[in-house]
């Protein structure tokens, strides 16, 4: 009985390299201030309390937006409303 077929660990690493996604072991130390790199799946910005892009060195909130729409299986109205 075959239940699932997917990519091996090495294949996933190669795919991540091709699309420029860093895979880091959870036990490794990160550089101070490191939050990762931009991925092809989201766009992000630092926004102030008025929902405007922050100037350099201005405090704000990290906002992420998916570049691909979310899809709710079997509920097209929920997908449309999202």
pLDDT in tens, 25-73: 778 787 777 677 777 788 889 999 999 999 989 999 999 888 876 666 6
Spatial contact of 21 and 41, defined as CB atoms under 8 Å apart = no
Residue 49 lies in a domain: yes
Residue 57 lies in a domain: yes
Q: Is the pLDDT of residue 17 over 70?
A: yes
Range of the domain at 62: 40-68
Spatial contact of 79 and 71, defined as CB atoms under 8 Å apart = yes
Residue 73 lies in a domain: no
Provide the number of structural domains found in the chain: 1
pLDDT given at position 16: 85
């Amino acid at each position: 009985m075959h239940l699932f077929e997917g990519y091996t660990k090495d294949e996933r690493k190669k795919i991540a390299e091709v699309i420029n996604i860093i895979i880091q072991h959870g036990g490794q130390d990160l550089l101070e201030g490191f939050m990762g790199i931009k991925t092809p799946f989201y766009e992000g910005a630092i926004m102030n309390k008025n929902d405007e892009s922050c100037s350099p060195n201005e405090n704000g909130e990290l906002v992420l937006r998916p570049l691909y729409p979310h899809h709710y299986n079997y509920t097209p109205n929920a997908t449309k409303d999202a």
